[in-house]
Chain A
């Protein structure tokens, strides 16, 4: 479904993604792991067409995405849930979800709202609240619920559990798992051992702009082992 070959991305003078190649099949959930600043977010942004200077090949569903604007990629079936600045702060929860749904017919729009609220019922209670006044965790839920509810073919998710308490990590893991069960393909950047173990069949480890290996979450028995192997650090 997604075939990436020798992808490069540049940010200012720095060469942040230096020739990354990987592929994902339909319905798979795959993770990109590694330390901060090694190019994971830039890889996701490049796939979504949000990095201005990229090079290489990205084939999605049999056709090339290179040179396409973000909104065209979205209409081809890509979804994106960024780590930061994911919501529209001065629009309410319902409008935040509807923005993407407005591309579809009115009845689809209702469906998108219902699916989003079913994932995180707290969003229904907060539907008239400005998104900028939600807590950080609720904003993350809103962004993820919107991403999943729009039913893209491939969802790119950046650090969905970063900074969340364990109960919310479980909720978010469950939401992503239920999305893959409906046939959605997911590429996630995250470091939560629980999420990786529950959700992902494969993990690509990344360091300094390149992929350094492919692993299975089952290869690791504890978060410390995973961290020591791939993140190059031992967790306290």
Chain B
């Protein structure tokens, strides 16, 4: 029993830390631009394919991760810029529809170019590591470490670096930030790229564990939305923490004898609604970056 709990705790961290990357990217965009990006899951998908592609060429997983993440950050960032820029300052519904359209286009393009089958790669590290009573795959530990490491880095980057402070400034008071000389267009493009890059990194990290297929983004985005709402819309740290909790909830929930996955999901929705009700009665739901 103890070994099963330890196993599920670790599994929860693997899922949670990669979900946290996707959700933190969504929260960043919501914080800075007040937009919801339906294509965030598809950047996860693109990240998986990009890493798969570079890995086949170079047979070096670290290199494939770096190139794949940076490539999707740039391409995804530019796509978001092209789709969202003309709609800034207009109805948020238009942005919502535009990113939904982008999502459908990306999924169809992936199917047409790469086929509908799943691409799987072997984990770069195969040997198991003893943790307490169990042996746990080394690569899964790398995913946990890399995911949490990037989130901590992102958090401190937002707190202390020049562009981090500017991102928060634009999120809190855009006209005043501009009047102080903050280059708002550059900050927007940076937010697009970082957001897409975070999703791509998660897609790449999970490639050896989950494989990749054209519609994998749809499976990711649903949980990511729940997390961003529960973490406080636009709150990078909140999204990251709630993602880890959701990962643990789903993993530990499987230990309950005879429970169906649908019951777990419904319970999760219920908990999120409860959380929102409690929070709404105490403070505003929307928390700034």
A→B interface (CB under 8 Å): 48-50, 69-71, 74-75, 79-80, 82, 85-91, 95, 98-100, 102-103, 146, 150
Contacts and interface: CB of A to CB of B under 8 A. Distances in A.
B184 A69 contact: yes
B241 interface: no
User: Of residues B169, B176, B177, B185, which shows the largest number of chain A Cβ atoms within 10 Å of its Cβ?
Assistant: B176
Interface of B, secondary structure class, is: helix
B173 A71 contact: no
A102 B179 contact: no
Interface string B165-177: 1101100110111
User: Which 4 pairs show the lowest CB-CB distances between chains A and B?
Assistant: A74-B181, A100-B180, A70-B178, A80-B179
Contact of A74 (B165, B172, B179): B179
Nearest to A45: B175
Contact of B166 (A49, A74, A102): A102
Given A69-B184, A71-B184, A88 B179 contact: no
B268 interface: no
B169 A88 contact: yes
Interface in B118-172: 162, 165-166, 168-169, 172
Contact of A71 (B168, B172, B183): B183
Contact of A82 (B169, B176, B289): B176
A70 B185 CA distance: 11
Q: Which of B176, B178, B179 has the most CB of A within 10 A?
A: B179
Nearest to B163: A102
10 contacts: A49-B178, A70-B179, A70-B184, A71-B182, A88-B177, A89-B288, A99-B165, A99-B182, A100-B182, A103-B181
Contact of A150 (B162, B173, B180, B185): B180
B238 to A, nearest CB: 13
Nearest to B168: A91
B172 A91 contact: yes
Contact of B176 (A86, A95, A103): A86
A70 B168 contact: no
Given A50-B178, A71-B178, A90-B288, 17 more contacts: A48-B179, A49-B178, A69-B178, A70-B175, A71-B177, A71-B183, A71-B184, A75-B181, A85-B176, A88-B172, A89-B173, A90-B168, A90-B289, A95-B165, A99-B169, A100-B182, A150-B180
B172 A90 contact: yes
B167 to A, nearest CB: 11
A149 to B, nearest CB: 11
A57 B166 CA distance: 31
Interface string B183-198: 1110000000000000
Question: Which of the listed residues A75, A79, A100, A150 has the most CB atoms from chain B within 10 Å of its own CB?
Answer: A100
Given A71-B178, A74-B181, A99-B182, A85 B165 contact: no
Contacts of A103: 181-182
